[in-house]
């Protein structure tokens, strides 16, 4: 039943620690110890084992190891649709950070039609040590998420905060970011400020809006408008067009994230409005696309690396009360917000 091997290839079939022990003339335990960092084994034996292993092309079976150690070393990365390029970037950085810690990332997708719980169940069969959930919209699936968290495996929400839940969470300080966006726009001399939202059910949308609106109110200003729908380019375009069609002409727009803000910019250009002379635009995330010469979007950068480090740290010590960690966003000045002095000159 074995397929004919290519001439030069070894007789294959999986090579196990027994094969190596035979080759090295030691016990199977010794082979195991040779591959275990802190194990009690003489340097000579280890050397002999390692050589035999190399000769046979032996790689320890991580599956078997997981079974006995009860630690799989696997962390689940659960992603929804990846329309927002912010997430792929986070994803690969997570995978890399996990590897640095000797762990592996199991990639699972989650579409809106199914419950996240299903995906988490599937993941739990692989004895994952933790799960990191990249959100699209999670609201509909909140209840079940809590259970998993209790069930033993810590679940961490990336870039979302679910108030009142016993979930780990790492996010940017979106409220402060919202305030910062308002501040920047106010400094630019804006008085007619609009917020083009994303998915209104998400904490990112809500927190950014709240911070933005609050800061405006402190300045004695009301929001010109705050339509919301989805974190998508098309929506940014549409909302901007609608806004102007309805006679609401902003002199500053805060896009709920960069993808939306880029849609805003393209719509503004189509409407013949000059950025930043006629209208300032600021976004959130700082994705690659925002730096294109065609956009040069001023935005608030999420400190991805720090957030990821923090996420992994939190997962190492998943205290139930290890509430959301909030990281301040960083203002990235580019060309879509009127400069202070320019504003002064014009006001």
Provide the binding-site residues for DNA, judged by CB under 7 A. Answer: 14, 16-18, 26-30, 32-33, 35-36, 40-42, 44-45, 58, 60-61, 64-65, 67-70
Q: Mask: binding to its own copies, 211-230, rule CB under 8 A, as x and -? A: --------------------
96 binds, among DNA, its own copies, none (CB under 5 to 8 A by kind): its own copies
Instruction: Compare residues 35 and 284 and give the one whose CB is closer to its own copies.
Output: 35
Q: Are 326 and 173 in contact (CB under 8 A)?
A: yes
- Residues 241 and 230: their CA atoms lie apart, in Å, by 15
Instruction: Compare residues 82 and 249 and give the one whose CB is closer to its own copies.
Output: 82
Asked if 126 is part of the footprint of its own copies (rule: CB under 8 A), the reply reads yes
220 CB-side CA count, 13 A: 0
In this structure, what token pair is assigned to residue 282? 């600021």
Instruction: Compare residues 16 and 183 and give the one whose CB is closer to DNA.
Output: 16
> Phi then psi for 299, rounded to 5 degrees?
-155, 175
Asked if 175 is part of the footprint of its own copies (rule: CB under 8 A), the reply reads no
- Residues 172 and 193: their CA atoms lie apart, in Å, by 23
28 binds, among DNA, its own copies, none (CB under 5 to 8 A by kind): DNA
Chain centroid, CA 165 distance in Å: 19
Minimal CA–CA distance to 337: which of 219, 221, 252, 255? 252
143 binds, among its own copies, DNA, none (CB under 5 to 8 A by kind): none
Q: Are 98 and 44 in contact (CB under 8 A)?
A: no
Q: Are 333 and 286 in contact (CB under 8 A)?
A: no
Asked if 112 is part of the footprint of its own copies (rule: CB under 8 A), the reply reads no
How many CB atoms sit inside 10 A of residue 118's CB? 13
Q: Mask: binding to its own copies, 240-269, rule CB under 8 A, as x and -? A: ----------------------x--xxx-x
Nearest distance, CB of residue 346 and its own copies, angstroms: 25
Residue 147: which H helix or E strand, with range?
A: helix 142-150
In this structure, what token pair is assigned to residue 65? 């190891």
Binding site for its own copies (CB under 8 A): 6, 8-9, 12, 14, 57, 59-64, 66-67, 70, 72, 77, 79, 81-83, 85, 88-89, 91-92, 95-96, 99, 104-109, 111, 121-122, 124-127, 150-152, 233, 237, 262, 265-267, 269-270, 288-289, 292-295, 320
């Amino acid at each position: 039943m074995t397929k004919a091997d290519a001439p030069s290839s070894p007789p294959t079939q999986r090579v196990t620690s027994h094969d190596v022990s035979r080759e090295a003339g030691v016990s199977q335990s010794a082979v195991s110890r040779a591959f275990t960092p802190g194990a009690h084994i003489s340097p000579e034996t280890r050397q002999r084992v390692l050589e035999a292993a190399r000769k046979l092309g032996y790689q320890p079976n991580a599956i078997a190891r997981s079974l006995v150690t009860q630690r799989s070393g696997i962390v689940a990365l659960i992603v929804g649709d990846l329309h927002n390029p912010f997430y792929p970037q986070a994803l690969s950085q997570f995978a890399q950070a996990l590897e640095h810690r000797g762990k592996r990332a199991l990639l699972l997708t989650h579409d809106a039609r199914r419950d996240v719980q299903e995906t988490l169940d599937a993941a739990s069969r692989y004895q994952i040590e933790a799960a990191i959930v990249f959100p699209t919209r999670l609201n509909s699936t909140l209840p079940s998420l809590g259970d998993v968290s209790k069930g033993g495996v810590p679940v961490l929400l990336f870039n979302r905060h679910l108030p009142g839940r016993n979930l780990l969470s790492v996010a940017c300080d979106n409220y402060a970011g919202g305030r910062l966006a308002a501040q920047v726009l106010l400094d630019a001399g804006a008085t007619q400020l609009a917020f083009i939202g994303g998915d209104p059910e998400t904490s990112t949308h809500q927190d950014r809006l709240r911070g933005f609106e609050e800061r405006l109110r402190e300045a004695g200003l009301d929001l010109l408008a705050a339509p919301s729908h989805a974190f998508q380019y098309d929506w940014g375009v549409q909302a901007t067009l609608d806004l102007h069609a309805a006679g609401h002409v902003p002199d500053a727009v805060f896009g709920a994230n960069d993808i939306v803000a880029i849609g805003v910019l393209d719509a503004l250009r189509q409407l013949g409005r000059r950025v930043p002379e006629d209208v300032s635009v600021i976004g959130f995330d700082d994705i690659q696309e925002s730096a294109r010469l065609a956009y040069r979007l001023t935005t608030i950068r999420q400190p991805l690396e720090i957030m990821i480090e923090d996420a992994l740290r939190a997962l190492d010590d998943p205290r139930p009360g290890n509430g959301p960690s909030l990281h301040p966003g960083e203002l990235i000045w580019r060309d879509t917000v009127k400069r202070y002095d320019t504003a002064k000159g014009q006001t």
